[in-house]
Amino acid sequence: MILIGERINAGFKDIKEAIMNKDGDTIKNWAKIQADAKATYIDVNMGTASKDPATLCWMIEQVQSVTDLPISIDNNKADILKEAIPVCNKPPIVNSTTAEAAKLDLLLPIVAEHGASIIGLSMDEEGSPPNAEKRVENAGKIFEKIMEYGIPPEHLFLDPIVMPLKFKQEQAAAIMEATAQFKFFSDPPCHIVCGLSNISIGAKHKKLINRIFCTMLIANGLDAVILDITDKELVDAILTAELFMNKQIYADSYIEAFGS
Size of the residue set binding another protein (CB under 8 A):
11
Using the rule CB under 8 A, which residue among 148, 154, 205, 232 binds another protein? 154
> E-strand spans in 98-184?
117-121, 156-159
The C-alpha atoms of residue 142 and residue 190 are separated, in whole angstroms, by 11
**Quick check: 196 and 225 in contact, CB under 8 A?**
yes
Is residue 252 a contact point for another protein (CB under 8 A)?
yes
Is residue 144 a contact point for another protein (CB under 8 A)?
no
Can the peptide bond before residue 188 be classed as cis, meaning omega within 30 degrees of 0? yes
Is residue 249 a contact point for another protein (CB under 8 A)?
yes
Nearer CB in complex with another protein: 48/260? 260
Is residue 260 a contact point for another protein (CB under 8 A)?
yes
Nearer CB in complex with another protein: 20/257? 257
- Smallest gap from Cβ 36 to another protein, in A, equals 17
Is residue 256 a contact point for another protein (CB under 8 A)?
yes
Residue 3: phi and psi, rounded to 5, are -110, 115
Is residue 86 a contact point for another protein (CB under 8 A)?
no
**Quick check: 180 and 189 in contact, CB under 8 A?**
no
Stretch that binds another protein, among 117-125, 163-171, 227-235, 243-251 (CB under 8 A): 243-251
**Quick check: 225 and 1 in contact, CB under 8 A?**
yes
| Alpha helix stretches (DSSP H) within 1-89 | 13-20, 24-36, 53-64, 78-84
Nearer CB in complex with another protein: 54/257? 257
Residues contributing to the site for another protein (CB under 8 A): 154, 188, 248-253, 256-257, 260
